[in-house]
Amino acid sequence: MAQVAQMRRGLLPYCVLAMLRDTERYGFDLVQALGAVGGLVTSQGTIYPLLARLRRQGLVGTTWRESAAGPPRRYYQLTSAGRAALADFAREWTQLRDSVDALLGTGKKDMT
């Protein structure tokens, strides 16, 4: 299902932003948390290039923090631009999901 892989790929950046909505996370922590959701990530390693890209696009910021165990960790947090992008997406997604569910007859039948 190449299309599903494509969809997953398109949604993943927003899922990463959503993971950072309430708390900052370091890379390993974020990847673990995403992996636990299931069905989202097939190759965890590809999250890191994605994080780098989100940083270049100004949607996440990074901070190095000392770690109690081992070397410093790079923490990722949402920027205000990232927060706005996430909010936009959440709105669009809710609408899109409801529409598709209605067409598939799997979700709420009553759209009004």
The per-residue DSSP string of 6-49 comes to: HHHHHHHHHHHHHHTSSS-EEHHHHHHHHHHH-SS-S-GGGHHH
Using CB under 8 A as the binding rule, whether residue 46 contacts other proteins is answered as: yes
Q: Give the residue, chosen from 7, 21, 23, 28, that forms a contact with other proteins under the rule CB under 8 A.
A: 28
Residue 55 CB: number of other CB atoms within 10 A?
16
Using CB under 8 A as the binding rule, whether residue 35 contacts other proteins is answered as: yes
Instruction: Provide, rounded to whole angstroms, the least separation between the CB of residue 58 and other proteins.
Output: 10
Q: Letter for the amino acid at 43? A: S
Using CB under 8 A as the binding rule, whether residue 85 contacts other proteins is answered as: yes
- Residue 14 vs 102, nearer CB to other proteins: 14
Using CB under 8 A as the binding rule, whether residue 38 contacts other proteins is answered as: no
Going by C-alpha positions, the residue among 77, 73, 57 that lies closest to residue 65 is 73
Kindly list the residues in this chain that would bind other proteins in the complex (CB under 8 A): 9-10, 12-14, 26-28, 31, 35, 42-46, 48-54, 57, 59, 69-71, 73-74, 85
